[in-house]
Amino acid sequence: KVKAQLEEKEGKTFDVFTAVEFKTQVVAGTNYFIKVHVGNEEFLHLRVFKSLPHENEQLSLHSYQGSKTKHDELAYF
């Protein structure tokens, strides 16, 4: 659901976009930290926010980190 948001921010499209790992953090909603394989040996770490149900908001890409590898630890950011 956040692929289009990331592609807009990066100014390019991703043929490969596969989540390989994730962590959660409960706040006033939930932060999802997701390691995504985007092709070749390139990975991105995404921070996606899901609001509380009563707020009825869409998932939003809060921030991301590029130039990651398969073995980089997925950490809160």
Indicate the domain borders of the chain: 1-69
Contacts of 32 by beta carbon, 8 Å cutoff, 6+ apart: 22, 23, 24, 46, 47, 48, 49, 50
The predicted structure's pLDDT at residue 53:
85
Give dist(CA 50, CA 59) in Å, integer.
5
Please give the chain's pLDDT, 77 residues, in tens. 899 999 999 999 999 999 999 999 999 999 999 999 999 999 999 999 999 988 888 899 999 999 999 999 998 88
Structure token digits, residue 6: 């990331």
The predicted structure's pLDDT at residue 58:
85
